[in-house]
Amino acid sequence: IIKQKTKTLVTRDNGRSSDAISPNFLYGCLGSCMKSYCYVGRHNNDRVYINENVEDILTSVDRWVSKQPWQKVPNQVDDKYYVLDIGCSTDVPLMGKYYDWQKVFDFFNNHEKAKSTFATKYPTKMRDYKIDPQKNRIRVSLMPQVYSSVLEPNTDKIDDRIATIPKLQQNFEVHINFSPIIYHPGWLAEYDKLSQQSECFIHAI
């Protein structure tokens, strides 16, 4: 665990699951999928950098948002707000104790134009924060358990991730992220089963 002040203060355009990616609040992760497919581990698999200059990072985000046209033209990311990924190089719930995430969420809670998003494989570890559900989005990553057991050892079980969704919905806008897709004999049947499992549960809440 290395504490530092990041000098990489560039908010980058994205356009897929977010409109842009914030500078790293944390760079690195202690998740158990770092040794398999996670892209974070390609260049950094044994350290976590805690960037303590949170105000500088949020200023970069604010500057990026301020340059965008308003009102926003609706797109696949969000109809109203500019969405910034705050956990592109870490897992926010897993690394909760290492960062003042409430300060980050407060920024988005109070921002007229910006909304946060992040993906997680550890939704059961999400701490209690004061969060505006309209301004913060969590993406719960799912894959069939048979693949997750190999590629994501010691992460939250898929059943537990799905079961956590009702609690998350009290604070967040919740999306389900079927990622990554594992192409393997029988994969279509496995993902169909996963889709039905998550769909039935969500419709029941």
The per-residue pLDDT for range 132-170, each reduced to its tens digit, is 999 999 999 999 999 999 999 899 999 999 999 999 999
Tell me the per-residue pLDDT of 15-37, one tens digit each, with 9 for 90 and over.
889 999 999 999 988 776 666 66
Instruction: Return the pLDDT at 28.
Output: 85
pLDDT at 205: 44
User: Alpha-carbon distance 132 to 146, whole Å?
Assistant: 35
Decide if pLDDT at 204 tops 50. no
Phi and psi angles of residue 21, each rounded to the nearest 5 degrees, phi first: -120, 125
Beta strand segments in 26-179, E = 26-27, 49-51, 82-85, 114-120, 136-142, 173-178
**Which residue's entry shows tokens 């998350």?**
168
Would you say residue 40 has pLDDT above 70?
no
- pTM for the predicted model, two decimal places: 0.91
Given this model, what pLDDT does residue 173 score? 96
Confidence of residue 80 (pLDDT cuts 50, 70, 90): very high
